[in-house]
Amino acid sequence: MKKYFAVSVLAASIFAVTGCQEEKAEAPAAAQVALENVDQQQAYAIGASVSRYIATTLEQQKELGLELDNALVLKGMQDGLSGEVAMSEEDIQASLKALDEKLAGLVEAKAAEDAAAAKAESDKYLADNAAREGVTVTDSGLQFEVLTDAEGDKPSAADTVTVHYKGTLTDGSTFDSSYDRGEPATFPLNRVIPGWTEGVQLMSKGAKYKFFIPSELGYGENGAGSIPPNSILVFEVELIDIEKADAPAEETPAS
């Protein structure tokens, strides 16, 4: 989900932006401005940078359902620069605080809406996938299919495994891959997400499985990095090696 910024983060002294206005068919304003020396270029750069940032901020707020009057935003900026502001500092701060609170509520509602939609989509995907031939579903809801079978010992949760893997979302976009890095990964099996801990324990050395990990066994409602909330994680995993955990030392009987 996109991040949405409140206007108050702009320090309340600068408000807005010709960048919010519709593009015109004629040549861009930059071509009509004399920028003949460093001072002129720096002055113009300040205005251009601030306006583009605020334009993006206001556009994101519009996506949340909050649309401010661009003419008043621009008027507030002009008055602030001239020192003839129509509101007291106390009223400005109160207005910005109220805006922050309104935006926080809108962002929370949008996040809940997006999470609910993602959960419904994930549930449908898992239901359809579970019906495919070759897919097995465990009691926890983890789904897997065997790409290459193997026989032999299987790791326990306490063991350290070496694997090659590729992780994608259901749309096929890759978010992590040991293949891309050119070397396998080694880690204790009880230090990863629950879907991995459970799934790799089903494998023997030399096997290759494909896992479909529900969000509850992955990164849940919060997501992680480029992984959105309530995402199913699809992993192809090749188990290369198993390093057994050290067995607990036997106690020496008291003499």
Residue 255 confidence (pLDDT): 41
Q: Is residue 210 part of a domain?
A: yes
Torsion angle (degrees, nearest 10) of CA 108, 114, 117, 118 = -120
Listed residues 23, 52, 86: the one ending a domain: 86
Q: Is residue 221 part of a domain?
A: yes
Listed residues 21, 55, 86: the one ending a domain: 86
Q: How many domains are contained in the chain?
A: 2
Do 136 and 235 share a domain, yes or no?
yes
Do 158 and 69 share a domain, yes or no?
no
Q: Is residue 8 part of a domain?
A: no
Q: Is residue 100 part of a domain?
A: no
Do 78 and 168 share a domain, yes or no?
no
Handedness of CA 144, 164, 214, 119 (dihedral sign): negative
CA angle 170, 175, 176 (to 5 degrees): 120
Most confident of the following: 1-10, 71-80, 163-172, 221-230: 163-172
Instruction: Say which CATH number the domain at 181 has.
Output: 3.10.50.40
Q: Is residue 252 part of a domain?
A: no
Do 136 and 56 share a domain, yes or no?
no
Distances (CA, A) of 203 to 5, 144, 156: 46, 11, 10
- Per cent of the chain over pLDDT 90 is 56
Conformation bin of residue 65: beta by default, left when phi > 0, alpha when psi is -120 to 50: left
Do 68 and 141 share a domain, yes or no?
no
3-state secondary structure of 7: helix
Write a three-state SS string for 59-85: HHHHHCCCCCCHHHHHHHHHHHHHCCC
Q: Is residue 173 part of a domain?
A: yes
Do 70 and 138 share a domain, yes or no?
no
Listed residues 52, 67, 86: the one ending a domain: 86
Residue 251 confidence (pLDDT): 52
| Residues assigned a catalytic role | 165, 175-176, 193, 219, 235
Instruction: Say which CATH number the domain at 60 has.
Output: 1.10.287.460
Do 140 and 43 share a domain, yes or no?
no
Give the tens place of pLDDT for each residue, 46-87.
988 988 888 888 888 888 888 888 888 888 888 988 888 999
Give the tens place of pLDDT for each residue, 89-147.
999 999 999 999 999 999 889 888 888 898 999 999 999 999 999 999 999 999 999 99
Distances (CA, A) of 52 to 9, 65, 68, 189, 243: 15, 20, 16, 47, 54
Q: Is residue 6 part of a domain?
A: no
Do 82 and 136 share a domain, yes or no?
no
Do 78 and 138 share a domain, yes or no?
no
Do 223 and 170 share a domain, yes or no?
yes
Do 162 and 237 share a domain, yes or no?
yes
Which domain range does residue 77 map to? 38-86
Do 148 and 215 share a domain, yes or no?
yes
Residue 245: phi and psi, rounded to 5, are -65, 150
Q: Is residue 113 part of a domain?
A: no
